[in-house]
Amino acid sequence: MNQLDALRQWTTVVADSGDFKQLSASKPQDATTNPSLILKAVQKPEYRPLLDEAVKKHAGKPIDEVIDRLLVRFGTEILTLIPGRVSTEVDARISFDTAATIARAERIVAMYRAEGIDTGKRLLVKVASTWEGIQAAKALEQKGIHTNLTLLFSFAQAVACGEAGVKLISPFVGRIYDWYKKSAGAKWDEAANAGANDPGVKSVTEIFNYYKHFGIQTEVMGASFRNTGQIAALAGCDLLTISPELLAELAASNEPLKHALDASAAKSLDIPKKSFDEASFRFALNEDAMATEKLAEGIRAFAADAVKLEKLMGAA
């Protein structure tokens, strides 16, 4: 049994890609997209016609609506190739505006429904894990719109998401690893910080155990992997969203894969209950330099790629 098949025994495998033509090889259950992945895809000759089609078909409409149309076009194509859900992201530039996030999410859902998609079962709307984003997700979940809280780097963000009743969170393993490695500089010991000791893996493990210990229904989906070792160390997590390149590596490896995270074992752990209101959430995030920096950096990067996508559309 290869590592990918072994992983599927305990974890739902999700493809992290806007390149839907690669999905048939890895046969994921779900798929996630973001503005950066869509931008990367539409710069390939085989996907450029989708951008041109969206611009032509919706000429005269506001550019933000045309972008959402393009994201939904990719999402509906992906849904023809997978049995599960696709995640589609709201514009990162409204990450600090609860009302705007709710409105944008509702518009994306309406677009999917117009395409005949059962959004209750097959769509997750991705929202940044800011305080405002979490409150938007809480309101959306109450309306039956399921959410995927992304750019999640801290325990405080995870606890707040669980309290809000969001469907799924995406803690970013690789970006946490990147920060600690850069911060350590020449003192970084790769071997000592691998596997279960990887700082990104430790973060997801803490969140997973907390959720399972307290019976929190929010799904945990590890994301942003740098290597297959990080993936192996999280075998047993509810879901893992993995790039096509790393999926291929897992499929090509027959190295043994162990069940790392165990929901049943988490029940017996001694874990204190936490709760955050807005003030305590903001302070906890402020105290976590890594999470503060990576959240801001992630929002800036997604926002920059949204602008690049707009420019491509303007030139189409």
Interacting residues of 86 by C-beta distance below 8 A, sequence separation 6+: 30, 31, 32, 33, 75, 78, 79, 122, 123, 124
With a CB cutoff of 8 Å and minimum separation 6, the contacts of 202 are 196
Tell the burial category of 297 from Cβ atoms under 10 Å away from its Cβ (0-12, 13-18, 19+): middle
Kindly report, residue by residue over 16-58, the tens digit of the pLDDT. 988 888 887 788 999 998 888 899 999 999 999 999 999 999 9
Domain boundary assignment for the chain: 3-315
- Other C-beta atoms closer than 10 Å to the C-beta of 117 total 18
The single residue listed with the structure tokens 């503060």 is 292
Helix axes 199-213, 155-164, angle to 10 degrees: 30
Q: State pLDDT tens for residues 69-102.
A: 999 999 999 999 999 999 999 999 999 999 999 9
Q: What residues act catalytically?
A: 126
CATH class of 3-315: alpha beta
Summarised one tens digit per residue, pLDDT across range 115-159 is 999 999 999 999 999 999 999 999 999 999 999 999 999 999 999
- The tokens describing 281, both together, are 């959430």
pLDDT of residue 25: 77
pTM above 0.85, yes or no: yes
Name which of 225, 232, 240 is nearest 196 in CA terms: 232
Residue 275 — φ and ψ, nearest 5°?
Answer: -150, 145
Q: Give which of 84, 12, 72, 82 is closest to 38, Cα–Cα.
A: 72
